[in-house]
């Protein structure tokens, strides 16, 4: 009989697992200050020119009976490529982290998923709890998720504009119009 292979799980460059089986009542502070190698890996994974700094200050605390609450901030300085000029653009990331984790066996995690149950989602409200198995939670991977959310998807260098210049407009007029106009004309002839 063949054994099933475990699916390949990619580790976060800033992976930091915490044993949540015996957390202090007031919680356990965790600080992740990425090394140069980790910052290079983050830059590669998130398609950035570079990550100059990455710091996550977290508090991992018990929540309700068997849950875990992770709160804190992830702050970073990154360099991206401008979507217009491709020149370097420096940006800062400052994201608040507030997540709840429940054991897979928890009833709280399954509420509302039964037959006929409804789930009400509030876009401005807290995220629904994530589940975990065993005694470990990778709070570094969580911090990386929030880091990713803070990356500007369309960074622009100050003053960069997508608008066509007057010279380009004049050239298009000399050539017989824009591509869109040529396409409309060709389609109308059919």
**Domain around 123:** 17-159
Side-by-side strand order, sheet with 88-103:
28-33, 50-63, 67-81, 88-103, 130-132
Confidence of residue 183 (pLDDT cuts 50, 70, 90): low
pLDDT score for 132 = 81
pTM over 0.85: no
Q: Which residues contact 185 (CB under 8 A, 6 or more apart)?
A: 177
Could you tell me which residue, 112 or 83, shows the higher pLDDT? 83
Residues 131 and 182 in one domain: no
Does any domain span residue 91? yes
Can you tell me the distance from the alpha carbon of 94 to that of 77, in angstroms, rounded to the nearest whole number? 9
Does any domain span residue 7? no
Q: Terminal CA-to-CA distance of the chain, rounded, Å?
A: 63
Does any domain span residue 22? yes
Residues 100 and 169 in one domain: no
Does any domain span residue 25? yes
Does any domain span residue 27? yes
Does any domain span residue 9? no
Does any domain span residue 105? yes
């Amino acid at each position: 009989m063949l054994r099933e292979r475990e699916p390949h799980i990619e580790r976060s460059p800033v992976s930091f697992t915490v044993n949540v089986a015996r957390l202090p009542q007031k919680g356990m502070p965790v600080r992740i200050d990425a090394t140069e190698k980790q910052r290079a890996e983050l830059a590669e994974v998130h398609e950035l020119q570079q990550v100059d700094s990455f710091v996550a200050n977290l508090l991992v605390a018990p929540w309700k009976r068997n849950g875990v609450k992770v709160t804190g901030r992830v702050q970073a300085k990154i360099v991206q490529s401008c979507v217009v000029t491709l020149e370097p653009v420096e940006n800062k990331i400052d994201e608040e982290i507030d997540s709840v984790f429940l054991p897979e066996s928890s009833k709280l995690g399954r509420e509302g998923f039964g037959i006929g149950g409804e789930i009400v989602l509030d876009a401005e409200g807290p995220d629904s709890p994530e589940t975990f198995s065993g005694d470990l939670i990778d709070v570094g991977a969580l911090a990386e998720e929030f880091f990713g959310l803070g990356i500007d998807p369309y960074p622009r260098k100050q003053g960069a504009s997508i608008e066509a210049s007057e010279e380009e407009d004049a050239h298009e007029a000399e050539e017989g119009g824009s591509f869109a106009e040529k396409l409309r004309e060709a389609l109308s002839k059919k």
